[in-house]
Structure 1
Amino acid sequence: MAIIEKELVELQDWEIRQFLRKVLEEAHSTAEHRGIQASDEDLLLSKWGAFVESSRQRRLKEEESRNHIHLLFSLSDAGSLKVTLGNLGRRRESHVLAFDTLLSVGPIKGLETEEGQRRRKEWLMERFPCHMHMDSMNLDSRMDRLVAFLTRLPEHHQITIYCSDNAHDQIGLRLAVYCLRHRHQPIHVVNMTQQFSAMASPNELPFHPYAIGHIPFDTLEQLLKQTATLPPLTEEQRAQYELDWRNWSEQEGTLRLWQNGAVRSVPEHYYDENLIEIVDRLQLAGTESSYVRAGRVVGEAMESWGQLIGDSFVDYRLWTLISDGKLEFRGLPGALYRYSVKVRH
């Protein structure tokens, strides 16, 4: 048994599933050919059926006990929240979900529909080479599954949505509230940026976390304790969020920023000139003909812009500028650490 356990640890989950599927298919095929005659294959299939049913019943019991839905818009934030809820003794009752897509970037028109989801997926796959791989992972966090889940969420579930002051979270918040429009249970919304500012000491006020991931872990636990008694959205607030989503769902834009306390749609090339300036400045800091690492350019850009738009989008804009003849590159495409750029004069 120790040898089997060691071998199972070495295998990946998909390899185990693949082997199990093959064994069951062979057993099923053999059992069909034997007819009513009992066999080892029949016993295997019987045990498998009992195991599946037992597993199904266990999951149902877990789902019944996890009646508090915590919704976020980042997988890493979801991981931090799970740990924090565990520290507070609230993990067993909680079901933590997260959207695994960046809603500040790409089309969101009709995203509550299958057509809108397909259109967005095609746009992302054309521009971000890693999207197809990422889309096949974390299936429970895919847009289509979460939209369907929220639409049919049982009425007895509590709902808490966490967001911050950035375009991605704020668009996600409005989409989520729209998907919950036929649900009658209260919806609690926790804006972590605002909650942090409210509890921060005077010397911390210059620090403005525009994403949950920027909040120190110990502070996150304090925030959750303080926000447990926040009132739910009023009917008027829910109606406004739903209206906001309907308006955004009709727009064709592909880049959204958080500016002056609101989400603003801007052209896709909004930051291109600034990107060229950053490359030029970093280039001049070296030798006249020096190339600058793409990763360094992206890091400088993300820090100076203070927007949650993702390094993949900045990488995409760098390659657009290269294609337009405004930047030169050396190295290999595919990852930020593999190529460098400089301004073409």
Structure 2
Amino acid sequence: MEIDQLKKVIEELPEGEVKSLLFHILLRVNHIGEKGYSETEFVDDVKSIYKTILDITKERSESKQASTCQRIHILFGGSPEGSLKVALKEMGVFEKERVISFWNLFSVGPIWQLHEEVGKEARFAWMKEALNDKHEEFQEYLLRFHQTVHQIMSIPADVPISLWTAENAHEQTGLRFVLHLLKDKPNDIKVINTTLAYTEHFKQADIKYVVLHSGEIPPEKLQTIYEHSKQKYSLSNLERQQYEQEWLHLSDNRESLRIWRNGKIQSVCIDYYDQYIINLAKKLRRERESEEFMKSARLIGEALGHLDQYIGDDFLEYRVRKLIENGVFEMEGSLKAMRYYGVKLS
């Protein structure tokens, strides 16, 4: 890339992204020589940051060149984004309607003052420390968060918005965060509750099934939900204000875990699921008496499969590693990723 093009790319980056990039580059400089972090790894990290910036800039450029957008869809998590894009293509409206999605899992990690720069820095510092970056995607994840916020703040005032959210702490927290970002915008906004919509349109008398998160819904059923959403009312000013106030209340809390109970988001202690994991480990040990150590991936998979909450396997592995650190579990292998080590109760 020529110098003039590079300058243009940097000039177009939002201030928050620039500060974040600079912080993480300087942090890596500070870590050279520490904890086995080499200059070669530093160069590779900077190259990765460079590539991510170019990719995001290209996406923004393509977005600006696209035809006039008639509706914006905002989702939470990667899976529903792909499914909705397929649905929009099948309906022949993909060229006119745009999809914006967060990679964040809003049920996990601090959200204290997340609408401010200090809150963003606190959240990502926690995530970098707590969650195993097994695919080395953290830097791209960080940049894409800033990109998504920038995209939302840049939505023209006359473009209607649809917010897709299931009944879980992740998507419901994300919903309130986005509505706070949009608090000064006059856009027409609809909230599509995928859990309720799925039950309404696809309930079968002989099958008890409740959608846990929007990513579970296939594209053909998202089409049906979208078509019926056209008859639904947009949020009133009073409803928007209520969501915004709920966000301010949530973002005033310093807990790093949230669950969905009785139709509300509840902030709970970070060790909320520790005893659940321990009890499950005891159960699996009884079932597999011949195995001294059980694969951590097996334990985490079982824990995730029996939960009625959407918190992700990364968080559960973080708690398993904490239980190892606290002497509750013994381990063998490498903590590089869950598939590399086994655990047993001490």
**Does 1:88 find its partner at 2:84?**
no
**Does 1:128 find its partner at 2:131?**
yes
Residues 87-126 of structure 1: pairs in structure 2 closer than 5 A: 87-126=90-129
Pairs aligned (count): 294
Alignment check: 8 A CA contact 1:166 1:257 kept = yes
SS where residue 296 of structure 1 aligns? helix
Alignment check: 8 A CA contact 1:124 1:131 kept = no
The CA deviation at 1:95 is: 1.3
The CA deviation at 1:294 is: 1.0
Query: Matched residues in 2 for 1:67 and 1:274: separation?
Result: 46
Alignment check: 8 A CA contact 1:70 1:97 kept = yes
Query: Matched residues in 2 for 1:305 and 1:155: separation?
Result: 40
SS where residue 330 of structure 2 aligns? strand
Query: Matched residues in 2 for 1:94 and 1:109: separation?
Result: 32
2:199 counterpart residue number: 197
The CA deviation at 1:292 is: 1.2
Q: Deviations over 1:210-229 (max 9, x none)?
A: 10122234322222222233
Alignment check: 8 A CA contact 2:159 2:188 kept = no
Percent identity, please: 29
Q: Deviations over 1:295-335 (max 9, x none)?
A: 11111111211211110110000010011111111111121
C-alpha RMSD over aligned residues: 2.4
2:44 counterpart residue number: none
Instruction: Return the TM-score normalized by structure 1.
Output: 0.79
Alignment check: 8 A CA contact 1:166 1:210 kept = yes
In structure 2, relative to structure 1, the CA distance for the partners of 1:303 and 1:132 (3 Å cut) is closer
Query: Matched residues in 1 for 2:5 and 2:113: separation?
Result: 41
**Does 1:287 find its partner at 2:292?**
no
Residues 269-284 of structure 1: pairs in structure 2 closer than 5 A: 269-284=271-286
2:64 counterpart residue number: 60
Query: Matched residues in 2 for 1:282 and 1:190: separation?
Result: 39
Q: Deviations over 1:186-216 (max 9, x none)?
A: 1111010010111123336510011012223
The CA deviation at 1:150 is: 2.4
Query: Matched residues in 2 for 1:323 and 1:58: separation?
Result: 47
Query: Matched residues in 2 for 1:56 and 1:163: separation?
Result: 25
Query: Matched residues in 1 for 2:261 and 2:234: separation?
Result: 26
1:47 counterpart residue number: none
Q: Among residues 225, 248, 255, which one is paired with 1:253 in the alignment?
A: 255
In structure 2, relative to structure 1, the CA distance for the partners of 1:262 and 1:215 (3 Å cut) is same
Alignment check: 8 A CA contact 2:317 2:338 kept = yes
In structure 2, relative to structure 1, the CA distance for the partners of 1:97 and 1:141 (3 Å cut) is farther
SS where residue 137 of structure 2 aligns? helix
**Which runs of at least 4 in structure 1 moved beyond 3 Å after TM superposition?**
20-25, 55-61, 138-141
**Does 1:78 find its partner at 2:81?**
yes
In structure 2, relative to structure 1, the CA distance for the partners of 1:56 and 1:104 (3 Å cut) is closer
In structure 2, relative to structure 1, the CA distance for the partners of 1:267 and 1:239 (3 Å cut) is same
SS where residue 313 of structure 1 aligns? helix
Q: Deviations over 1:24-58 (max 9, x none)?
A: 89xxxxxxxxxxxxxxxxxxxxxxxxxxxxx9997
Alignment check: 8 A CA contact 1:125 1:132 kept = no
Query: Matched residues in 2 for 1:56 and 1:169: separation?
Result: 24
Alignment check: 8 A CA contact 1:112 1:147 kept = no
In structure 2, relative to structure 1, the CA distance for the partners of 1:260 and 1:67 (3 Å cut) is same
Query: Matched residues in 2 for 1:58 and 1:288: separation?
Result: 57
> Which is higher, the Rg of structure 1 or of structure 2?
1
SS where residue 280 of structure 1 aligns? helix
The CA deviation at 1:83 is: 0.7
Structure 1 residue runs of 5 or longer lacking an equivalent are: 1-19, 26-54
Residues 301-320 of structure 1: pairs in structure 2 closer than 5 A: 301-320=303-322
The AA in structure 1 aligned to 2:199 is S
**Does 1:184 find its partner at 2:168?**
no
In structure 2, relative to structure 1, the CA distance for the partners of 1:139 and 1:273 (3 Å cut) is closer
Q: Among residues 316, 330, 333, which one is paired with 2:332 in the alignment?
A: 330
Alignment check: 8 A CA contact 1:197 1:205 kept = no
SS where residue 314 of structure 2 aligns? helix
In structure 2, relative to structure 1, the CA distance for the partners of 1:329 and 1:139 (3 Å cut) is closer
SS where residue 325 of structure 1 aligns? coil
Alignment check: 8 A CA contact 1:161 1:189 kept = yes
Query: Matched residues in 2 for 1:58 and 1:209: separation?
Result: 34
1:342 counterpart residue number: 344
In structure 2, relative to structure 1, the CA distance for the partners of 1:59 and 1:248 (3 Å cut) is closer
Query: Structure with the greater relative contact order (CA < 8 A, sep ≥ 6): 1 or 2?
Result: 2
1:225 counterpart residue number: 227
The AA in structure 1 aligned to 2:136 is H
Query: Matched residues in 1 for 2:234 and 2:186: separation?
Result: 12
Instruction: Return the TM-score normalized by structure 2.
Output: 0.79
In structure 2, relative to structure 1, the CA distance for the partners of 1:195 and 1:24 (3 Å cut) is closer
